[in-house]
Amino acid sequence: MVIGLTGGIGCGKSRATAAFAARGFLTADADQIVREEVLPDPAVLARAVERWGARVLAGGGGLDRVAVAGIVFADESERRWWEGVVHPRVRAIWRGRVEAQPQADWVVEVPLLFEAGLEKGFDFIVCVGANAAVQLARVTARGMSQAQAGLRIASQYPLDKKLKLSHAVLWNDGTPAFLEDQVGRLAERLRTPRQVSRV
């Protein structure tokens, strides 16, 4: 089974993914793949510099993620262009991992799952949600201003739309234990039909 896990920024997707991992699921994190594998790619760096110039270069010659974020979250056309560069590379990497271990149960954390039209690539989709005040508080606690947080939130589908499009919802307004309990119950429910069908 390949589960797509999504949700709004600040809703606790990574905590939910970790809870699935603790229950034996293999996991892939699209944002981590971007940071560690896609952005350091010289071909991606070259595309960024060709488009935006040296202002997106960090001191060490790599990509300045803050500078890029400032560009793409302020201009939808630039964001869409950048997603066209980054998203296909991310998809190829996590799909390669899943295909290498097809018998495993996977959770792939993809913040822009619906925005990128990836619904058909998963057996089941889970959305992590939280109320707007909690979401904003968590995002600003990471060091973003309210204006920056607002731009990030606005760049995604509305959370209520993601919730309606998903097969299951994990609600994360409470404690970590509350979220982990929901993950545990969902993981058990998802695995039971597979176990029964093998008998």
Per-residue pLDDT tens digits for 72-124: 988 999 999 999 999 999 999 999 999 999 999 999 999 999 998 999 999 99
Kindly state the average pLDDT of the residues 173-178. 91
Cα atoms in the 13 Å half-sphere on the side-chain side of 7: 26
Same domain, 2 and 38: no
State the pLDDT at residue 199.
Answer: 31
> Is the confidence at residue 177, as pLDDT, over 60?
yes
Does 198 fall in a domain?
no
For the segment 27-63, what is each residue's pLDDT rounded down to a tens digit? 999 999 999 999 999 999 999 999 999 999 998 889 9
Q: Is the pTM of this model over 0.75?
A: yes
CATH code: domain of residue 164? 3.40.50.300
Contacts of 194 (CB under 8 A, 6+ apart): 1
Residues of the domain holding 80: 32-104
Does 14 fall in a domain?
yes
- Evaluate whether 85 touches 47 at the Cβ level (below 8 Å): yes
Per-residue burial over 51-86, b = 16 or more CB atoms within 10 Å of its CB, e = otherwise: ebeeebbeeeeebbeebbbebbbeeeeebeebbeeb
Kindly state the average pLDDT of the residues 171-178. 92
Does 199 fall in a domain?
no
Same domain, 112 and 65: no
